[in-house]
Chain A
Amino acid sequence: MSEHLLEIRDLQARVADGGIEILRGVDLVIEPGEMHALMGPNGSGKSTLAKVIAGHPGYEVTGGDVLLDGKSVLDLEPDERSRSGLFLAFQYPAEIPGVSIANFLRTSLNARRSEEEGDLDVFAFQKLLNDKLGLLQVQPSFAARYVNDGFSGGEKKRNEILQMAMLEPSMAVMDETDSGLDIDALRIVSEGVSTLRGQDDRMGVLLITHYKRILGYLQPDQVHVMLNGRIAHSGGPELADQLEEMGYDWLHEPEPEPVG
């Protein structure tokens, strides 16, 4: 049997330099081509999980493992993880005044190319960029703006998806990309994600969200609920409906497994 696309095994992590423990044993497996949704109350650790997967230096892994295509990524730098196919669409993307989106994207794409391949040809880049801007129905002038500088909440989210579309990851983690998008933008972004998955049927997505609206567009294979740093419950798409109706109170944290 082929490897899992993403496997998270009993992952434990805390804030770096001996800070508080946030992830307390997360288990999650995503197979090629699957889309999983991750829900859970504020502060339960969803974004922390996303950032730990991406290699954020602000967190320290104290146990467990994260494997991409069967290989642990924990020893890889964030850029190496990205070049291995991981992508994180941030809940709160950083603002980088002075660096245009186009320049940033060109540098990112070139960083993936080998010495022999050399830099991407300007025209090839422009064409790729125009295609993706079209896919997400974004004005071409958008790419000339500084990365997230002065962007509205929705524009930042679109920029994340534009980057994802350009970099074509094999495994994308989307952290609350739907929050802040208006109704049309949500549809456009969802269609964009579907198109990307259509182009690469092995692409996996972990979609962190509070709302089932986006799940209506994207139809996850599984829905997980995180409570207090663990996956407390998993189910099919119907779980999202239940959560919308009943909230999280009826769920309980899993008992710690007996040691030994």
Chain B
Amino acid sequence: MSEVTTITEPGAAIDAQGSLERWIQSRAEPELLASRRREGWADWLAEPMPTRRMEEWRYTDISGLDPEAYSPVSTTGDRARSKEDLPGPVREVLDSDRKRSAVFIQHNGTVEHVRVDPDLAERGVVYAPIDEIAGSHPEILERFLFRSDVAQSERKLWALHTAMLSGGYVLYVPKNVALPHPVHALRYVDEAGGLVSSHSLIIAESGAEITCIDEYLSPDLDAESLSLNGVEIFGAENAVVRYLALQHYGRGVKHFSMQHANTGRDSTLNVFNVTLGADLARCDVSAHLLGPGSESEMLALWFGDRDQRFDHHTLQNHAAPHARSDLLFKGALAGQSHSVFRGLIRVAEGAQLTDAYQTNRNLLLSDKAKAVALPNLEIEADDVRCSHGATVGQVDETQLFYLMSRGLSRPEAERLLVLGFFDEVLSRVPLEGTRERIREAIELKIGLSR
């Protein structure tokens, strides 16, 4: 990436604002989105760039990030008319015989395919590109889009994501509707040097039950691409939302994912991040426990190799009493890869009888790999149960020898140990098909299948 063309410089800003306006015109998009875009752009200009002097950005330097160094991905591609029009890797995922209640496919900035089980559509389930929703159900966007409580440290990128929005979907599931199968969104990027900014807005009304998958794919790209990704989940009373983000971009991508899940009274939330790809992947995952009695489980797995940088920041934001949150993040690092985990449990003054747990475990597979773990508590209520812990360790030589004594080569034995290490998290995924999809992606990344 080129050095900073300081976008906060007045001249540059006006230029950029001008091109933003031209871009908005060219997209002919509804005013609702255009105004959010302008607000986002204004925020982007107003917010200071995160520097390593900020605690949240101490280990990830984005001071040189210049959105104008990327070109916005094309949004004008045609919808795929048949499966053959879809990119090969996307077809491969679709070809697996897993059942899905709905499918969404975005290729760069173009939504190529959306399909919803007609029975569910009839029962009021909406699954459509954001642009379309702006026309058909503006009230949903008014109520929910960009309505999450974004932390100060995240605002700069959130603003850029808002301004540059290119694609994404809304999933709206009405009261008491349980989706029988997962809803699967695939985003495929193959425009080198592009900027894609895609959003997932997921709304489960009271008593609704959903499993939602966001999968990110790309080949290795020879010019750096920027992927900005926002996820907002709203689970109303008694809703059950299971969300999985499976990121296996190729190299050449910088990926920033900002995820905000909001729980209603007695609702259940499960957010699972699998980070395998990209040069740099930063995930800010926040669970806002807004409803009393709600429950959140946050899980993550990552496997880094070569010089990959993964950075996971979490917030278990207990705003309501009687809520419970659990977090288990596990990462394995090979090569010269580095990872950061920074987790915060925040319990507000009125959030009595909170149960909050947080665990991060890291497995280093080489001397040059590095993991930093920073668990944190901020508790203002007095009747709470909280615990946090983090470990960084190497492969156990006794286990390694045991496996090798049965004929496994050292790399094979290490891979099996990594999968074993991951199993504690993987086994918490209730749907077998989803679990298998994750396992496949991980095995592919760590090269277990020969």
Contacts and interface: CB of A to CB of B under 8 A. Distances in A.
Interface of A: 54-58, 77-79, 81-83, 87-88, 90, 93-99, 103-104, 107-108, 111-112, 119, 146, 163, 167
A99 B450 CA distance: 19
B441 interface: no
B409 A93 contact: no
Contacts of A97: 420, 423-424
Which of B402, B403, B405, B410: most chain A CB closer than 10 A? B405
B223 interface: no
B420 A111 contact: no
B417 A78 contact: no
Given A99-B419, A99-B420, A94 B398 contact: yes
A78 B406 CA distance: 8
Contacts of B19: none
B70 interface: no
Contacts of A90: 402, 405
Interface of B: 396-399, 401-410, 412-413, 416-417, 419-424, 450
Given A94-B398, A99-B423, A104 B416 contact: yes
B397 A57 contact: yes
A233 to B, nearest CB: 29
A99 B417 contact: yes
A82 B404 contact: yes
Nearest to A111: B407
Contact of B422 (A56, A79, A98): A98
Contact of B401 (A57, A83, A99, A167): A57
Nearest to A88: B405
Contacts of A99: 416-417, 419-420, 423
Nearest to A163: B406
29 contacts: A54-B405, A55-B404, A56-B401, A57-B397, A58-B397, A77-B409, A78-B401, A79-B404, A79-B405, A79-B406, A79-B407, A79-B408, A79-B410, A79-B412, A81-B405, A94-B401, A96-B399, A97-B420, A97-B424, A98-B424, A99-B416, A99-B417, A99-B420, A103-B416, A104-B403, A107-B412, A108-B406, A119-B450, A146-B420
Contacts of A163: 406
Nearest to B448: A107
A103 B421 CA distance: 14
A114 B293 CA distance: 56
B303 to A, nearest CB: 14
A231 to B, nearest CB: 23
Contacts of B405: 54-55, 78-79, 81-82, 87-88, 90
A161 to B, nearest CB: 13
A13 to B, nearest CB: 15
A127 B406 CA distance: 20
Contacts of A112: 407
Contacts of A54: 405
A104 B417 contact: no
Given A108-B408, A112-B407, A94 B402 contact: yes
B408 A111 contact: yes
Nearest to B450: A119
B402 A167 contact: no
Contacts of B397: 57-58
Across chains A and B, which 5 residue pairs bring their CB atoms closest together, nearest first? Answer: A98-B420, A98-B423, A94-B402, A99-B420, A82-B407
Contacts of A88: 405
A77 B407 contact: no
Contacts of B410: 77, 79
Contact of A107 (B396, B416, B421): B416
B427 to A, nearest CB: 8
B411 to A, nearest CB: 10
Contacts of A111: 406-409, 412
A82 B424 CA distance: 29
A14 to B, nearest CB: 18
A107 B403 CA distance: 10
